[in-house]
Structure 1
């Protein structure tokens, strides 16, 4: 392995023109020289340590030759290689710290790249945002080195660093290696099949350390392990401030025998002009759960574009007895990975809260892995990620509406495809989240027609409920049957589904339905009277028994396990003007006109109040109001 001596020195780390996590810039002193491998570690080098890795060569059409950069290695794999190499050669090897990596990459330059403020085409390997990678050669050392003799510092592959990921402080530092814990390890350098902006010298990325995929490998340094500085995190999130831990009896503030409907309030209140880590441009795809302490907790994604690598998960808390939601804050973000999407669930057999999360390799929501975290203290602190499916691919994008069956199985609905048609999948755990399976995985794409069967739910963004006989029923968006929203029934816990037409109108872009069981027994359904732009109306009956046609958001009840839905009610506060955010925007309501579209999620709290949220608004009502 060829090593290059990197002399001690100082540099300005970060970029004032870069992303929020590259600021504030600070002067960093590297006090000791070190040696860095001139190229990333190759397949032939790595496989001297781990011969079994050879079976991963060529996966997804990448890195099949001896002298190509090794990929599909976790942070722990990379560290194990350095430990093996240290023993083999009798010299101390390790991963570079983040500061060492940027110092060596810059090689005395202060521009966006060590080549200047642009990256010459000779360094490009399909440098654009893509959902799936184009096959490109990952041969090391083929492009010109930087001024200090290091190859492939911009692109080729991302490279693991030694550090836990954390926010910069404004202090000038010597040999920074600060944080003692995080959910992510730093990666640097960018890679093939990504936009050049992610290849800049200052750009910071990160990964869950167990994760491995086709973008990331590593290089080594020869140097003693640095001393760790102690830097305390000061970024306490608003949703984690002053969280009461005493259990609530959830005593209702309203008479539940009387109809109750409250004026909708905003749960998503990101200030205009926010540009990271929360974004004011697009907030969407929420979920909501009550907590044991009497609070409500909502999560959703926040981004500039739905495909972008900036997409993160935000959260807010409606505290017990409060009339307004807290200001939101960042909930979860693997740096520079699209986080499509999020779901949250309180297991009411105890105090555990589940957070289910999809995570892309980079851009878009096609190559997702799926993991979960848990909280035992009302969402104050959360566990490390636990994999549901670590293999990036389809069928891993969680949808709101996870639930626990009567037999104790946790079911997490997920989109099975990236587009508007193609259906939904489920992941099931029967041991409280320790192990998981997708019962429909590997089955062929079905024909979503009346009476047909298949291993995938008809329609994306499916709502799912357990029926009293133990079977599962789902309704979805798209894959319409005979002009109606499709219904899927499974009698074998999701291994196969039988398709039929539901009695409900189909919905489309910017709309998502809800299906759940109320504590009082009926099935509860929330959706829209039609596509947002077709002004399709449905017939409703007001509380005086008069029939009228209405438009927009409605709810329905079934008392016979989904066979009929005799109660249907428009969800409108009467005359009003609202901003639904996301794809909804501003809209006007009256007695016959409700919110036209939004991504719906719902829960029923222990006091029996139904909480229905769209992309920005929070509606509250009870069963008596629906039946009125």
Structure 2
């Protein structure tokens, strides 16, 4: 072919280019698949209706009620998840994340370590590049496309064949597996990897399902978690079902989450209102409480125990599991007490939710448990509540990528209205890994530094780290990180290391500005270890305390009382030393009012008036006789309390209200007492 001039040749090239573009989008009006400019195969998904949700087993409470959904218009969905090569045309800097944690190194593997915001920005970029409306799928569109006309748990039937499996098991330590897209059979509508490979971001805020029929639903109008769907490698097949719901904070990234795109205008339907507040968030009053109405602090005061762990009423829709543990407690300016804890079937699983209860000012009974915080299908081990004394409540919580508390990040949110509303959570330690398992007992030092203790690892001998904020929680650092250099600490008398000796540590500030901590395990010469930091958590020096060690199912409290003394609460014996059930035969010798020593067993308090050098007051925390059987929840179970026997185990947390009352909770029970009661010698009736 000959061209008379350059203009004719240029016109030919433009015409040919437009023809190619036209052909590349051919079929978009008649429902045929096409390949876009990034090489994505876009599959046409027809309009139709389906039953959304399943509610399979105890874990599927958020998939109910099953309800009818109509998708009124067809749309295009990418046949596979977005790959590294495709995403990096938008963000070339992402290439440095290839191979992080050993995953997704190749061009054709699903892109991971991408947040919801970044996935949305990719869609905006692609829309502008092609002049077509790309976006994330709604949750309803995703499940509809995944089911592809099927009604079973998987598009393959009631189970997922081995051909789809990529290390589909509960993983404590993740092993790299190939994330190449499109390697398993497609579903009936031609979509790959809808069950597994990586989770996929959806548009919607996570929230409760409505009961009535929905047309083109777009989720709730707000929330704290964005939905992910489809499940991933390295998790149980249960979480790969068509109806299974997952989610996390929109800024979160991990090696389990990627995304795919749809091409269609956004549905015109309105989002549903945000879910109604749970009971514990509904406050009766925002008026500051008159704490002068409390007990006379010159007189000994003790009440309890009363149970704060109360099962929700039947059929009220609140999740509640058999294992309830790991609490935290704080006071509110309106006089209420707020407690939180995790509820789960197994501490290592993904079903874990954070529940709460409120003891309203003037009430004698805690309210029934209600949902407080949840990232769907994520382990959330570790919570801490803290009142800074200036009108702000802080809630710290762990957030895992999936199971076990081994790969936690830390989230923080605040409330300035007595816990009625909370800020959107933010990641203050965003890298999922060690040193992030939140421990109840947040403190603020005399010069305004916030200190949050966190287990340094997932094992019983890994010690405790601290996270520090000097700007009232805006930014956080782990001060020990620069000193670590990959070294393993040695928790020995006189040694210096970068962790607190013992996990689940309690931390208090001493009058000279040093930090003191006691922890579980890493015992020194058979005694509980004491750790001192002279540099605000950068390094710690170890010594043996005078206290007996504790073990699994037990957590201590260390705090500075408003009156000045240090308060330490722990247990006389480890659960492992039981002989023919509790109480064990060892116990601890404590003096009564006459100076006589008695063997006492269970939870006790100790006071120090000289900055931890000595602990002259040791007292069993018990209501005394007559003997009574009490439920301890967690790992404690039922126990008998009398004048010589207190609660044998439990994860302890405490707060002191402005009226001087110390509120101590275990895994189920709430105790109230004051300094005068602690200082009052025990009266023991001779048997």
Please say whether Structure 1 and Structure 2 have the same fold, judged by a TM-score greater than 0.5: yes
Equivalent residue runs for 1:105-504 within 5 Å: 105-271=146-312, 277-348=318-389, 350-441=390-481, 443=484, 444-504=487-547
Deviation at 1:275, TM superposition (A): 11
Q: What is the rounded CA distance, in whole Å, between the counterparts of 2:274 and 2:452 in structure 1? A: 33
Deviation at 1:528, TM superposition (A): 0.5
Q: What is the rounded CA distance, in whole Å, between the counterparts of 1:437 and 1:353 in structure 2? A: 20
Select the residue among 90, 94, 106 that pairs with 1:65.
106
In structure 2, the residue matched to 1:4 is: 43
Q: What is the rounded CA distance, in whole Å, between the counterparts of 1:586 and 1:222 in structure 2? A: 58
Q: Is the 8 A contact 2:221 2:273 kept in 1?
A: no
In structure 1, the residue matched to 2:72 is: 31
Select the residue among 620, 633, 645 that pairs with 1:593.
645
Equivalent residue runs for 1:529-608 within 5 Å: 529-532=572-575, 533-534=577-578, 535=584, 536-574=586-624, 575-608=627-660
Query: SS state of the match for residue 298, structure 1?
Result: strand
1:512 aligns with 2:555: yes
Question: CA offsets per residue over residues 261-312 of structure 1, 9 Å max, x none?
Answer: 1121001112598997532411101111111111111111111110110111
Q: What is the rounded CA distance, in whole Å, between the counterparts of 1:230 and 1:62 in structure 2? A: 36
Deviation at 1:256, TM superposition (A): 1.4
Q: Is the 8 A contact 2:88 2:94 kept in 1?
A: yes
Q: Is the 8 A contact 2:222 2:274 kept in 1?
A: no
Q: What is the rounded CA distance, in whole Å, between the counterparts of 2:174 and 2:216 in structure 1? A: 36
Consecutive unaligned residues of structure 2, counting only runs of 5 or more, are: 1-39, 579-583, 681-687
Q: Is the 8 A contact 1:423 1:459 kept in 2?
A: yes
Q: What is the rounded CA distance, in whole Å, between the counterparts of 1:242 and 1:432 in structure 2? A: 25
Query: SS state of the match for residue 49, structure 1?
Result: coil
Deviation at 1:230, TM superposition (A): 3.8
Q: Is the 8 A contact 1:11 1:27 kept in 2?
A: yes
Question: CA offsets per residue over residues 44-92 of structure 1, 9 Å max, x none?
Answer: 0000000000000011111000000000000011000010001111111
1:49 aligns with 2:93: no
Deviates more, 1:220-229 or 1:597-606: 220-229
Q: What is the rounded CA distance, in whole Å, between the counterparts of 1:274 and 1:133 in structure 2? A: 38
In structure 1, the residue matched to 2:145 is: 104
Query: SS state of the match for residue 325, structure 1?
Result: coil
Q: What is the rounded CA distance, in whole Å, between the counterparts of 1:222 and 1:543 in structure 2? A: 79
Q: What is the rounded CA distance, in whole Å, between the counterparts of 1:176 and 1:263 in structure 2? A: 49
Aligned residue pairs: how many? 627
Q: What is the rounded CA distance, in whole Å, between the counterparts of 1:277 and 1:327 in structure 2? A: 10
Deviation at 1:17, TM superposition (A): 3.1
Query: SS state of the match for residue 292, structure 2?
Result: coil
Q: Is the 8 A contact 1:250 1:607 kept in 2?
A: yes
Q: Is the 8 A contact 1:539 1:547 kept in 2?
A: yes
Q: Is the 8 A contact 2:205 2:226 kept in 1?
A: yes
In the TM superposition, structure 1's runs of 4+ consecutive aligned residues that sit over 4 Å from their partners are 271-277
Equivalent residue runs for 1:63-102 within 5 Å: 63-102=104-143
Q: What is the rounded CA distance, in whole Å, between the counterparts of 1:31 and 1:426 in structure 2? A: 53
Q: What is the rounded CA distance, in whole Å, between the counterparts of 2:109 and 2:318 in structure 1? A: 35
Deviation at 1:603, TM superposition (A): 1.1
Deviation at 1:440, TM superposition (A): 1.2
Consecutive unaligned residues of structure 1, counting only runs of 5 or more, are: none
Q: What is the rounded CA distance, in whole Å, between the counterparts of 1:340 and 1:243 in structure 2? A: 30
In structure 1, the residue matched to 2:34 is: none
Q: What is the rounded CA distance, in whole Å, between the counterparts of 2:435 and 2:457 in structure 1? A: 6
Q: What is the rounded CA distance, in whole Å, between the counterparts of 1:164 and 1:254 in structure 2? A: 46
Q: Is the 8 A contact 2:453 2:507 kept in 1?
A: yes
Deviation at 1:548, TM superposition (A): 1.1
Deviation at 1:342, TM superposition (A): 0.3
Query: SS state of the match for residue 86, structure 2?
Result: helix
Q: 1:271 to 1:170 in 2, by over 3 A?
A: closer
Q: Is the 8 A contact 1:274 1:280 kept in 2?
A: no
In structure 2, the residue matched to 1:617 is: 669
In structure 2, the residue matched to 1:17 is: 56
Q: Is the 8 A contact 1:339 1:357 kept in 2?
A: yes
Deviation at 1:225, TM superposition (A): 1.5
Q: Is the 8 A contact 1:187 1:207 kept in 2?
A: yes
Q: What is the rounded CA distance, in whole Å, between the counterparts of 1:522 and 1:252 in structure 2? A: 23
Deviation at 1:251, TM superposition (A): 1.9
Q: Is the 8 A contact 1:279 1:304 kept in 2?
A: no
Q: What is the rounded CA distance, in whole Å, between the counterparts of 1:178 and 1:446 in structure 2? A: 48
Give the superposed CA RMSD.
Answer: 1.3
In structure 2, the residue matched to 1:526 is: 569
Query: SS state of the match for residue 677, structure 2?
Result: helix
Question: CA offsets per residue over residues 407-461 of structure 1, 9 Å max, x none?
Answer: 0011000000111112000000000111100011251221100000011000000
TM-score (ref. length: structure 1) = 0.98
TM-score (ref. length: structure 2) = 0.90
Q: Is the 8 A contact 2:217 2:271 kept in 1?
A: no
Question: CA offsets per residue over residues 573-623 of structure 1, 9 Å max, x none?
Answer: 112210111111111111111111111111111000111111001111111
Report which of the two structures shows the higher radius of gyration computed on alpha carbons.
2
In structure 1, the residue matched to 2:10 is: none
Question: CA offsets per residue over residues 559-581 of structure 1, 9 Å max, x none?
Answer: 10000000100111112210111
Deviation at 1:233, TM superposition (A): 3.6
Q: Is the 8 A contact 2:221 2:274 kept in 1?
A: no
Query: SS state of the match for residue 590, structure 2?
Result: strand
Q: Is the 8 A contact 2:550 2:574 kept in 1?
A: yes
Deviation at 1:34, TM superposition (A): 0.6
Q: What is the rounded CA distance, in whole Å, between the counterparts of 2:517 and 2:469 in structure 1? A: 18
